Chains A and B, each alone.
Chain A
């Protein structure tokens, strides 16, 4: 009776996945082989690292907003917690980031639990507003506790030289592989979420909360789980951000422009899809670097921000489901293979 049924009901099914695997292998090979290419230098590798970090951050945001439908406008909160927790523990107590990353994760879970418990039972914009409120509060805290966080000037990591144990390197190449590991892991997590019962619940809640409850979905629990997962993922990627850039300041961690940059990969590439943030993040960073280069040549500051704005406008107007949305019909498989 069901011999032919696919194992999971998701928007991304078996046949497209085979194609995805091939694209994935090519993309990973390109990224991993970058340092060995003749034209590669530290600048190009650093751009690739930035790209991978923002793809990972976009993948994390995509879990809560793309799959779960919760508009987290202040997701920099969790990026900042990941950065500051690992940075402070390292600078003050010489705790290696391998442990600091977990501290950031635990802090992020705690903050997400409080935010979620306060807002996720309500409908409407309360959650989105709460994320902005918490990011503003943490911004002020980070500026206030100067001894711990460096205040307005930010927190710079003590540099101890090349060290795997302290996740430090004079060259960006190790972070290329760390970033690639994050992106692969987060892609796998996204796929896992989309294929499991949790993903089915999150999509149902995203589409219609009352209908989801009428289908037996525990709406509050589902939203909270999505938020917690996304918060931890963002925080972990935040620690990688900290180790790669060696510094963080309140504006970079909790500012609005950073929060927007976290959202752009998924928005451009396609919300709720596993490839969306990868494609969107790649486009975003390539565009950012080109416009940076262009603005330097032209001597006009802020062109990259203008281009981001225009890009977002274009996406909203012409591809509201992102680039992956343009291929939606093709990527949708069959209930039975």
Chain B
């Protein structure tokens, strides 16, 4: 039986009087590719920040492979293998593509392994070798997103959280990116959590969806189950439900 990679239990977050998350709970199994969807303001980004360690929840618990990491800072979660990308790509603009990946490879590579080997392996896997010496400003958005994924998984990664990694890409670029992400999942067993607005893309990627609405989880199931869930249809999907079927 596969392990529980990530367990979010009764997470709540308030900003003053604003309730951003209310009693959010779900589990992600090791090796799973899970989607997290919801309308703007549903609390996806807040949840993402809490799980990655940039925000502290008002209450609740985040466990990573059974270990409570609610109080751990972001860098320790990353070193433990809880990795993320950003909604708006955030690369180190003064460093080359290879150097960007090298930053996390140097931090997170397992003892005894050479971080340079890891950087080369990531560049090769993501087909970024021709861009290795280029600056982030000199490459396409699709490649920038790939570099961010490379930096996220370099060294040691067990769970990869992708925040709208497909937004802004052309259909072909999105297809390629999905291929890269699924290959990562297939080849390395990395658990993937995808926050995405493009439902048709998610349907092609994930076997399970968690739907957030109005600061709480309103549904959890396969894309087909979600597409037929009257609560989800009423709250979020509407006519878009057909893309998940």
Contact = CB atoms under 8 A, between A and B. Distances in A.
A217 B90 contact: no
Contacts of B11: none
Contact of B103 (A215, A272, A336): A215
Contact of A335 (B90, B98, B103, B151): B98
Given A207-B94, A335-B96, A212 B103 contact: yes
A295 to B, nearest CB: 39
B86 A2 contact: no
Interface string B31-67: 0000000000000000000001110000000000000
A216 B86 CA distance: 14
Interface residues of B, number: 38
B103 A204 contact: yes
A214 B132 contact: no
Interface in B87-108: 90-96, 98-99, 102-104, 106-108
B114 A334 contact: no
A59 B133 CA distance: 27
A9 B119 contact: yes
A143 interface: no
A2 B103 contact: no
B220 interface: no
A289 interface: no
Specify which of B79, B92, B108, B132 lies most central, judged by the most chain A CB atoms within 10 Å of its CB. Answer: B92
A210 interface: yes
Contacts of A208: 90-93
A305 interface: no
B70 to A, nearest CB: 16
B98 A9 contact: yes
Given A5-B120, A216-B155, A211 B54 contact: no
Contacts, number: 103
Contacts of B103: 200-201, 204, 212, 215-217
Interface in A282-317: none
Contacts of B8: none
A207 B92 contact: yes
Contacts of B117: 1-2
A7 B102 CA distance: 11
A11 B91 contact: no
Nearest to B74: A213
Interface string A84-119: 000000000000000000000000000000000000
A206 B92 CA distance: 9
Contact of B120 (A2, A10, A11, A203): A2
B133 A217 contact: no
Interface string A1-20: 11001010111000000000
Nearest to B152: A214
Interface string A174-212: 000000000000000000000001001101101110111
Contacts of B155: 216
Interface in B158-198: none
A7 B106 CA distance: 12
Q: How large is the interface on A (under 10, 10 to 19, 20 to 34, 35 or more residues)?
A: 20 to 34
B116 interface: yes
A217 B107 contact: yes
B95 A214 contact: no
Interface string B121-138: 100000000001100000
B132 to A, nearest CB: 4
A297 to B, nearest CB: 43
A64 interface: no
A218 interface: yes
Contacts of A2: 114, 116-117, 120
A259 interface: no
A240 interface: no
B144 to A, nearest CB: 12
Contacts of A9: 95-96, 98-99, 102, 119
A215 B75 CA distance: 7
Given A216-B78, A217-B103, A11 B73 contact: no
15 contacts: A2-B114, A11-B99, A200-B106, A204-B92, A211-B86, A211-B90, A211-B91, A212-B92, A213-B73, A213-B78, A215-B75, A215-B104, A215-B151, A216-B103, A217-B107
